Amino acid sequence: MLSLAPIRYSKVLRQSGGPIERIEHAPGTVAGVPCTHAMAFLVRDLFPDSVRTPMQIDQADGAGSHRSEQVACHMAVSEALERWAIFGCRADPSKYEAGIHLDTTSNGFAAFPGMFDTQARKAAFAESIERHCLMCWWEGYLKHQPLLDLAEGVRAIQIENPYSSHFVILAWRTDELSHVFAFGAGNCRESATWKTLVELERTQRILREIDRVAGRQRSADFKLGTFERRIEYFSRGRGLESFLKRLQMEAVSSAKPMKLLFDAPVKGPWNRYASVWRTIIEAPSRTYLSDADDYFFW
């Protein structure tokens, strides 16, 4: 897709009146492939801290990994703008129409600095397909097939996708004493693989941060969010056992036809820099929205 990031993001930093406090980047690797890791931080007073979990407050609002330093930074900014829209909608759901009453998570949001809103919709739809297939698989409605290791020590499966042409991949690896999971979707297997490997690195960093916090005594007012707890739960013990059990199971029945509950642009102050779109596909159940740790979705 044609990106106008060099133009639309030219004044995205706070010093130019924009919503981004700062952008940080450093060289790194993804599965041994050299790339740049970038992080973008939103200006703190754009929304109240209450719309984020305590751990999210001190973390980057957007991240990007790419072989190109510029593209990685643009990706980080795009994700931060997406978060701005998510947090803004949570803070004032009556002001912004984004289907928050249907799904309070970040599921199906995407920001893209293109010429048309439909460019953001493609990214939002791909993420919705990825998450929907994951939920349907976890609940036993979709099949999977094993893949060759995506990288050294990275096992993976491809989840059945009867809804679109996207490849949907779920991968995991052992990190010290824990298992780290990630999932991704793309228009081709190579794209889905790269996205999944990038997410694996990010999930690993989140798990390490959770373990670091756990190494201290968690205060009564410091509580992990549902998705953070699920990442921790499935990394070991009973959570890991339940994942391995699901891996051995066959699909119990076919998934229902796809039904879109929300599919529209999310208008707000972020549109000065990027288009934001949200797509919500009706889930096989509402369990993923519960506070339960033992549902494989984050």
For 262-297, the pLDDT digits (tens) are: 999 999 999 999 999 999 999 999 999 999 999 999
Residues 171 and 173: their CA atoms lie apart, in Å, by 7
Torsion of CA 229, 222, 286, 110, to 10 degrees: -90
pLDDT band at 20 (very low <50, low <70, confident <90, very high): very high
If we measure between CA atoms, which residue out of 183, 188, 221 comes closest to residue 203?
183
Share of the chain above pLDDT 70, in %: 97
Query: In 84-136, where do the E strands start and end?
Result: 109-112
Tell me: the pLDDT tens digits for 146-162? Answer: 999 999 999 999 999 99
The pLDDT assigned to 244 comes to 96
Strand, coil or helix: 30: strand
Element (H, E) at 40: strand 33-42
Q: Is residue 123 a contact partner of residue 114, using CB atoms and an 8 Å limit?
A: no
Residues with Cβ within 8 Å of 291's Cβ and at least 6 positions away in sequence, in order, are: 226
pTM: predicted TM-score of the whole model, two decimal places? 0.93
- Residue appearing with tokens 């794209």: 191
Residues with Cβ within 8 Å of 227's Cβ and at least 6 positions away in sequence, in order, are: 105, 298
Between 37-46, 108-117, 176-185, 206-215, the lowest mean confidence (pLDDT) is in 206-215
Tell me: the pLDDT tens digits for 167-225? Answer: 999 999 987 778 999 999 999 999 999 999 999 999 999 998 888 776 655 555 567 88
